[in-house]
Amino acid sequence: MIVKQKKLNIGVIGAGSISGSHLEGYAACEDAVIFAICDLNETRAKAAADKYGATKVYTDYRELLADPEIDAVSICTWNNSHAEISIAALHAGKNVMCEKPLCKTMEEAKRVEAAVNESGKLLQVGFVRRYASNTAVLKRFIDAGELGEIYYAKASTIRRLGNPGGWFSDSERSGGGPLIDIGVHVIDLCWYLMGRPKVKSVSGNTYRKLGNRSHIQNLSFYQAADYNAELNDVEDMANALIRFENGASILVDVSFSLHAKSDESMVKLYGDKGGAEIEPELLIVTEQLDTIVNINPQIDDRGFNFQDAFSNEVNHFVQSCLGHRETLSPVQDGVEITKILTAIYESAATGKEVQF
């Protein structure tokens, strides 16, 4: 007898920009049903519910969590509510996919981790780069030893004009600027591909020199759903040197505003047997027959395919909830990345290296 597997009923909390990528992923996943949508803005929640055929609409996430029909939730709200909603969801018996960053502070991160342990539920952190197909290909090469020991990584996410405004530039709701918003992706990507070494020390700088450059004309840029240029107390740019106990290091710089010639996205890893680039495009560097060889993998997307990565991430979450897979981005990794990010801000504020 074939037993038909139950589909997971999903609630999406926060119906702004990124929720669309989660919803597209759930809509394409045959083991999930988009059951409920919640947003403080009811019109926005209703529009998403209509588009994706959700049965229920909420404006208070606590009411959504009290719904016994919901098995799992995606949290796509401002960063300041990630910890609070994650903890409440776990205690309500729901599995959780929480957008990056996991939260704003280490104290929050520890409380989320404790709630995962107490509840026995799953929390997947939205480190979407880990789920991209180009990352999966590189991970296979790394796991097979093709790069050897990775001892150095270099990452850059530079926007010359890209402060999204609204909650993103309100530190109370975001926890910071480009470092916590986009730096988190590339730091995590390097750390994950380096084999998640234990962090030893962090030295960072943050700058507030250019503001959000909202006076710039004739050049468009990404803006928050509720854009407001007046509110801006986050850094324009940040850089950091992160050292690990195994001797490896990451050098990173990120910006929302910078007098740069163009935007730039770059992630490079260097090992003792080979090197690799994953941003802007996958490339592997090695030696063969005393010759340096650049390997250009022939795959559909050598670059980061945004929706494909989100669909993989959502599907991986659903399969993990059903017990078919292990998540690639567990809560512990969210805690370690929070430790790195908050240490960079602390080092920048004190002018001193933070040692662990």
Ligand X SMILES: NC(=O)c1ccc[n+]([C@@H]2O[C@H](COP(=O)([O-])OP(=O)(O)OC[C@H]3O[C@@H](n4cnc5c(N)ncnc54)[C@H](O)[C@@H]3O)[C@@H](O)[C@H]2O)c1
Residues that bind ligand X (CB under 6 A): 13-19, 38-41, 44, 61, 76-79, 81, 99-100, 126, 128, 167, 181, 224-225
Q: Indicate the residue among 25 and 274 with the shorter CB distance to ligand X.
A: 25
Torsion sign (Cα): 222, 227, 230, 235:
negative
In the complex, minimum distance from the CB of residue 262 to ligand X, in angstroms, rounded to a whole number = 21
Q: Indicate the residue among 61 and 244 with the shorter CB distance to ligand X.
A: 61
In the complex, minimum distance from the CB of residue 119 to ligand X, in angstroms, rounded to a whole number = 20
Q: Are 314 and 98 in contact, with CB atoms under 8 Å apart?
A: no
Q: Indicate the residue among 8 and 89 with the shorter CB distance to ligand X.
A: 89
CA distance 54 to 266: 38
Q: Indicate the residue among 14 and 197 with the shorter CB distance to ligand X.
A: 14
CA distance 243 to 31: 41
CA distance 291 to 320: 43
In the complex, minimum distance from the CB of residue 41 to ligand X, in angstroms, rounded to a whole number = 5
In the complex, minimum distance from the CB of residue 71 to ligand X, in angstroms, rounded to a whole number = 19
CA distance 271 to 147: 5
In the complex, minimum distance from the CB of residue 283 to ligand X, in angstroms, rounded to a whole number = 22
CA distance 52 to 21: 12
CA distance 205 to 346: 9
Q: Indicate the residue among 23 and 194 with the shorter CB distance to ligand X.
A: 23
In the complex, minimum distance from the CB of residue 296 to ligand X, in angstroms, rounded to a whole number = 26
Q: Indicate the residue among 98 and 282 with the shorter CB distance to ligand X.
A: 98
CA distance 174 to 341: 13
Other beta carbons within 10 Å of 220:
7
Q: Indicate the residue among 27 and 285 with the shorter CB distance to ligand X.
A: 27
Q: Residue with structure tokens 């599907």? A: 315
**Burial environment of residue 225 by CB neighbours within 10 A (0 to 12, 13 to 18, 19 or more):** middle
In the complex, minimum distance from the CB of residue 98 to ligand X, in angstroms, rounded to a whole number = 8
CA distance 175 to 202: 18
In the complex, minimum distance from the CB of residue 159 to ligand X, in angstroms, rounded to a whole number = 13
Q: Indicate the residue among 41 and 246 with the shorter CB distance to ligand X.
A: 41
CA distance 147 to 272: 6
Q: What letter represents residue 55's amino acid?
A: T
Q: Are 336 and 242 in contact, with CB atoms under 8 Å apart?
A: no
The residue nearest ligand X at its CB is 16
